[in-house]
Structures are given as structure tokens and as C-alpha cells.
Amino acid sequence: MGQPAILTVDDDPSVSRAIARDLRRRYGEQYRILRASSAADALDALKDLKLRGGRVAVILADYRMPQTNGIEFLEHAMDLFPNARRALLTAYADTDAAIQAINVVDVDHYLLKPWDPPEEKLYPVIDSLLEAWLATGDREVADIRVVGHRWSAPSYQIRDFLARNLVPYRWLGADEPEGRRLLEAAGVGPEAIPLVVTADGRALSRPGTAEVAEVAGLSTAPNRDFYDLIIVGGGPAGLGAAVYGASEGLKTLLVERRAVGGQAGQSSRIENYLGFPDGISGAQLTDRARRQAGKFAAEVLNTREVVGLRADGSARTLTFADGGEVSAHAIVLATGVAYRPLVADGVAELTGAGVYYGSAATEGPSCSGSDVYIVGGANSAGQAALFFARYARTVTLLVRGDSLESSMSYYLIQQLDRIDNITVRTRCEVVGAEGGDHLRAITICDGKTSQRSTVECGSLFIFIGAEPRTDWLGDVVARDERGFVYTGPDLLSNGRRPPGWDRDRDPFYLECSVPGIFAAGDVRANSVKRVASAVGEGAMAVTLVHRYLEAR
């Protein structure tokens, strides 16, 4: 197939020559360096490469070009080479446009002109883009195909599971010609949806996520019976612990019951995370963290639900829902929190059919031209409002409190104020949802007047409260009345250690009431509910695991 290409497009001949020269100097032996002087020429080059079976690793496009600007060009380029990494070349005055491009067309990076010296300002960026591309390549992917109905809750669950686990798939409506052909070929009718058809032609009717994970190539069984460290939960805290544990030589297993990334992985944009001044989507951050953990040989176990924990002498043993078990010297609980169910008439019945918990990014295009309502006043709800505003006719944020200031970051409030089709309503609650096969309307109670009104609603996205998933722990470790896990100083009462504590020391800062079991991130009582603090606690937990292992 020949060398993969790095393509640059800039209408300024001197800039075009300069960047091509710098790229050849560093990457010319392994990559074809191509340059074009206009978006049209660049698209012609990409089409020719596509026809010839070529590969494109990185595309660099100037923002200010006549006829078609860099953002528009990159949108067209994505149709031809969706896995190519994209960067925008821009002047300092256009950085706002570059940041917008990251939000609109998922540009990976932007480069300010001039980029001298390239060793500091150009090559590190290109190295990062190439590393990301090499992890996926630009090859034709044999996608899984999913046949279903948009308003089918089981169909939505499969789509959401595949999307959150970054598994490529093609969605086909059961009423579309190709969808009907697949149902007929599988010998089933519409009642069998969702139908999942693998790349090799295997058909699964109404499968569970564990079956889908297996055919999608996700790991569902541990490679050994005993580890140095097992992490329960694949959100930021769990991923942080996995990266640091595996990189420091511990045989590490991460167990996730649904999708790596947790609530943070569903965020359309995280803009206040250190080191990403342009923001990063939750999916991108999750993908990078998962690849980083894999680089250090951490195992990631998917779709395995942990239902029990016990101390077996010096070992700590987890029990899975299917009865299987796995043990380790130490355990880190990083199960995070779940959105609290919205208790209102009709909501439970319509969940997955117009009512969704979390951002449900797969529903974005389907919201085109509709009226979307979002319940919640924290950062996750605000980011979702910005995301769905790109598709929906209107987005209304329903907030139970008096204002957003007490629950949402200031920068996000400012962004919401600048979007014309976003409205914020305070002191409001959803008290009902209506529809037949899918959501059609919701009833809102205005806390200021106590009046109720019923409005048309295309989709309802819920971001309320935070409940820890810790019922499975029972009385094994101490928890507060809400289920959050006590650790460290919170376990000491009047200077006394927790009942049953058998060590001649106080519990470490993130250690639970059982030695060798730690908690990190949102699941921990009195934790700071931020992505950065969760990652930090995951890393800190590994340091304390080492101290525990050394002192046994």
C-alpha cells in the first residue's frame, strides 16, 4: 500500500513550502509529504489516494483560505479518511475559530503560525497525532451492523454501549431496505430487534451487552486468577489507578461493568482539565487513557459486574454476577456515581425511547430540528446543552435551583449565554412525560408560580444528583448513609480505629475500613467531584497500595 501520507494545504506558497520542508526533515523517510495550495486541490489529492488504496495519517489545513476555509475542508476530508488526524494552521487572531473547530469537526489540534522552532512547537504535536493514528490506522474497518428502531430502548442500549466503548458500527433502521434485507437473511422478523450482525456474518438477536462485547473483540475474561492490584470501575479514577499501577510494575486488572470512561467519558467537552487548553471530549480522554493503560500492560475487563467483595487472609477477592471470582493483594474501588433516577409519571416507561440519562451523544443527529430539554444544573448538563444545541432547534436547561452559579463553572455559564437557541429556566422540575412508542411531551412545574405546563419535547436528557453504586459492598467496608465509602481520617472516631481493624497503624488516607481495600474518586465520601481530582486520587491510591504491600 506504500507509505502513508501527511497532507498539508495552505494558499500561502511560502508557508506551504516551509511546513513541507520541516515535515520532510523529520518524517520524510516514513511518510509521503504532500502539499496543496487550495482546498479543492487537496480534496482532489485525497480522492486520488482513496481510489488507489492509499492511507492518510495526518492532515494539516490553513484556516484562512479562499472559497473553502480550513474547517470546511476538514469536514469534507473526514468523509474520505475519517481516521486521519486533523490539525488546523492558524494565526493567533484566529484561535477562537480554531477552538470552535475542535468542537464542531473534532479537530485534534491547532498550530499557531509561525511554529519556530519546529523541535518545540511542531514536531511534538505531529508526533502525538501520528501516535494516535498508528493506534487505529486508516484501514477499512469491517463494522458491526446493528438493525433496530430509533425508539426501541434495547436498540438504544446496544448503540450506546458500542459508541461508549469506541467500537465502530453501522446503524440500520429495521424499516430501511438494507435493514429489512439483513433481518430476512438472518431468518427473523422485526420482533427480533435489535439484531447485531458481525463482520463475519454472525447474527445475534436481542443480545445482551456481554454477548456484544465478546463479538466486538472486547476482553470479558481475566487472564489470570490472581493480581497485585484490581481496580473496580473504569472512570477517571480507575483509569488513573490502572495507568500508575501498571506503569509501576504491578500486575493490574481493571474491571468495568458497562463502558470505560464513566460519566466523564460521556461528556461532549471537558474544558477545565489541566493540559488541554482547547478542551477535549470525554471519549477522546477515555481513549487516550485506555491506550495508555494498555501500553503498560494493564488488563481491562469489560461487561463484568462485581457483586461481592471479601477478605481471604491476605488476599482480597471479588465475585462476579456469573459466580466467577478473581483475587488480588489489593483492591481499589473506583465505581464512581450514577445519575439519580428522575421520579415522574411516564419517565421510567420512556427511558431509552426519548428519555435518556447522560449525554447520549449517539442521539445528537437524531435531535435535528427538535426541541430538546435537559434536566440538571452542573457542568455535565451545561456541556450537554452546548452539544445538542448544534443539532436541535431549541435546547432548554431546566434547573431546580435558583441559579447556575452555585453548581456550574463560570466559563460554562458564559458559553451558554452566548448561544441563541439555549434557554435556561430556574426553579423548574419535570413532573411528567407523555408519549406512545416514544417521548412526545413533558410537563414542567414552575417553582416560582407552582403552575404546570405541558410542552412538546423531542428528547429529554437527565443529569440530576449522584448516587454511588455500592450496595454490592454490603457491610464489608464502612459507608455513610448515602452509600459513599469512608476512607482514611473519616474512619477514625475520637481517635479510635474502625472496628475489626487489625493493623498497628491508622488507615492510609484513601484506605477503607478493611486493610488493602482503597477507594478513589466520586465513590469516596467527601471527595471533590472533578475529573482532575479523581485522576489524582487514582494515582495516589497506587502509592498507598505500594505502602500497604511493603508493610504487610
pLDDT at site 93: 46
Q: What is the CATH number of the domain that holds 387?
A: 3.50.50.60
In the chain, the number of structural domains is 4
Residue 487 belongs to some domain of the structure: yes
User: Is 89 in contact with 15 (CB distance < 8 Å)?
Assistant: yes
Could you tell me if 402 and 495 lie in one domain?
no
Q: Assess whether pLDDT exceeds 90 at residue 50.
A: no
The enclosing domain of 28 has a CATH number of 3.40.50.2300
Is pLDDT above 60 for 1?
no
Assess whether 351 and 276 both reside in one domain.
Answer: no
Which helix (H) or strand (E) segment holds residue 75: the answer is helix 70-80
Q: Which residue has the higher pLDDT, 253 or 37?
A: 253
Dihedral, 187, 193, 196, 197 alpha carbons, nearest 10: 30
Residue 533 is predicted with a pLDDT of: 95
Domain match, 458 and 533 both: no
Q: If you average pLDDT over residues 206-224, what whole number do you get?
A: 93
Domain span at residue 187 reads: 144-215
Same domain, 128 and 149: no
Q: Grid coordinates representing 340?
A: 439519580
Residues 458 and 496 in one domain: no
Do 442 and 303 fall into the same domain? no
103, pLDDT greater than 60: no
Last residue of a domain, one of 175, 191, 215: 215
Residue 102: what pLDDT? 55
The band of 524, judged by pLDDT with boundaries at 50, 70 and 90, is very high
Q: Report whether pLDDT(52) > 80.
A: no
Same domain, 356 and 455: yes
pTM here? 0.76
In a domain, residue 26? The reply is yes
For 201, the grid coordinates are: 456474518
Q: Alpha-carbon distance 230 to 330, whole Å? A: 7
Q: Are 425 and 399 in contact (CB under 8 A)?
A: yes
Verify that 423 and 439 share a domain, yes or no: yes
Tell whether 364 is covered by a domain: yes
Select from 193, 215, 237 the last residue of a domain: 215
Give the chain's mean pLDDT: 89
pLDDT at 185 over 80: yes
Q: Which of 514 and 437 is assigned the larger pLDDT?
A: 514
Whole-angstrom distance between the N-terminal and C-terminal Cα of the chain?
56
Q: Is residue 220 part of a domain?
A: no
Q: How far apart are alpha carbons 256 and 98 in whole angstroms?
A: 35
Helical residues (DSSP H) of 137-296, grouped into ranges:
153-164, 177-186, 209-215, 236-247, 262-265, 282-295
Domain termination site, one of 136, 160, 191: 136
Whether the pLDDT of residue 138 is over 60: the answer is no
- Tens digit of each residue's pLDDT (9 = 90 or more) over 257-305: 988 998 888 787 788 888 888 778 787 788 889 989 999 999 999 999 9
Do 64 and 114 fall within a single domain? yes
Q: Note whether 454 and 442 are within 8 A (CB).
A: yes
CA distance linking residue 520 with residue 547, whole number of Å = 16
Strands 299-302 and 306-312: unpaired
Q: Is residue 485 assigned to a domain?
A: yes
pLDDT at 140: 46
Predicted pLDDT at 296: 95
Domain membership flag for residue 358: yes
Tens-digit pLDDT profile for residues 370-409: 999 999 999 999 999 999 998 999 999 999 999 999 899 9
Q: Are residues 252 and 157 in the same domain?
A: no
Question: Is residue 110 over pLDDT 50?
Answer: yes
Amino acid (1-letter code) at residue 297: A
pLDDT tens-digit series, residues 491-522:
998 788 999 999 999 999 999 999 999 999 99
pLDDT exceeds cutoff 70 at 95: no
Q: Kindly state whether residue 221 falls inside one of the protein's structural domains.
A: no
Residues 37 and 88 in one domain: yes
178: left (phi over 0), alpha (psi -120 to 50) or beta: alpha
pLDDT at residue 488 in the model: 96
* Interatomic CA distance for residues 233 and 240, integer angstroms: 11
Cross-strand bridge partners of residue 232: 255, 333
Average pLDDT of the segment spanning 419-433? 96
Q: What is the DSSP letter of 508?
A: P
Q: Which range has the worst mean pLDDT, 139-143, 171-175, 312-316, 405-409?
A: 139-143
Query: Which pLDDT does position 82 carry in this prediction?
Result: 83
Task: For residues 168 and 267, state if they share a domain.
Answer: no
